[in-house]
Structure 1
Amino acid sequence: MYFAALLARTQDGWEASDTELDDVETLSDLTDLARDASVDEDTVLVFIEQEDAWFGVLRVEGEEDPRIFVSDAAAAARSSYGEILTNELLGGDDDDPADDLDTLDLDGTEDGEPEDDDADDEVGESGSAAELVPAGPVGDRDILMDLGLSEKELLALDTDALLEIADALGAAEVLETVR
């Protein structure tokens, strides 16, 4: 089960709103959702958490590229919303893999690429590319530094991480209203 919320910085402090991720399929969708919640292009944080398995923070400010932090890339990569974040961080392609079928031969290799009998060993027995994703945190570890949460504090977070982040930002009460 997921929990997702937006925290938008305003002149009066932080405003929180829960958010539905049903229509989010790409990082662009998630970024647009955050920008829509922005007041005067101020900071918007998108929090996503999956039952204490992992959490992610997306930070959007105006038209700048989003900044992302994920607490456990391997765990996040096994979930649909976490995969959106980890693909961006690890250089994955969030396009539909079916779009790349034109470049594949019938045996699954790219045109002109020799067959590699050891390729299955690299991916693992289950055939999941997610097994190649590193366990542990990935992304911008300074994502919340200027808002009052150091890299060391961010990396030390475990359960109830989003509430602890909100507390450091002075937004715990507003986050609790949507939790």
Structure 2
Amino acid sequence: MYFAAMLARTEDGWEASDTELDNVEALSDFADLAREASVDDDTVLVLIEQEDSWFGIVRVDGEDDPRVYVSDAAAASRSSYGAMLVDELIGRDDDGDDELERLDLDGTEDGEPEEDEAEASASSEPAPAGPLGDPELLSDLGFGAKELGALDGDALSSITDALGCPEILEAVR
């Protein structure tokens, strides 16, 4: 079970909203959702967690590229939304190829593997265990890499505590 929320920074503090992920298929969709919630192109955090197994943060500042952190890449890669973030972070290209398209059907199965086959097998390597992404993405907000790396359990509550807005997150839970 997923929980996702957006925190948009305003001049009066943070505003939270529950986030619907049904139409999210890529990191760019997370970024688009964040930009829609942004007030004056200020910082928006998309927070996502799956049953204390892993959490992820997508930070969007105006039109800048999103910054991403995932607490446990191996655990996240076993879930659809987590896999999207992990694939983006490790540079896996999911261009819609299916297993049949990657098969060598030109009758050269006995020869050396072609370059495309080597790339396909490299892209199927498992995600690394542990955190992945930008551990400094909250540093300017008072939550450094050391604190982020030490989180477990209800990490999103700890993050919103540090940002000074725990009640806002609880209102959308």
**Shorter-chain TM-score category?**
0.7 to 0.9
What is the letter of the counterpart of residue 21 of structure 1? Answer: L
159-168 or 89-98, which deviates more: 89-98
TM-score, normalization by structure 1? 0.85
Q: Deviations over 1:78-103 (max 9, x none)?
A: 100001100111111133224993x7
Runs of at least 5 residues in structure 2 that lack an aligned partner in the other structure: none
Identity of aligned residues (%): 69
Provide the residue aligned with 1:148 in structure 2: 142
What is the letter of the counterpart of residue 61 of structure 2? Answer: E
Give me the whole-angstrom Cα distance separating, in 1, the residues matched to 2:77 and 2:166.
27
Provide the residue aligned with 1:114 in structure 2: 113
Equivalenced residue count is 166
Provide the residue aligned with 2:25 in structure 1: 25
Q: Does 1:54 align with 2:58?
A: no
Match of 1:159 among 153, 157, 168: 153
What is the letter of the counterpart of residue 155 of structure 2? Answer: A
Runs of at least 5 residues in structure 1 that lack an aligned partner in the other structure: none
Question: Aligned Cα RMSD in Å?
Answer: 2.6
Contact 1:9–1:43 (Cα < 8 Å) also in 2: yes
After superposition, where does 1:1-179 map in structure 2 within 5 Å? 1-98=1-98, 101=101, 104-106=103-105, 114=113, 129=124, 132-179=126-173
What is the letter of the counterpart of residue 7 of structure 1? Answer: L
Q: Deviations over 1:111-154 (max 9, x none)?
A: x9627xxx8xx88xxxx93x621110000010100001011110
TM-score, normalization by structure 2? 0.88
Runs of 4+ in 1 over 3 A off after TM superposition: none
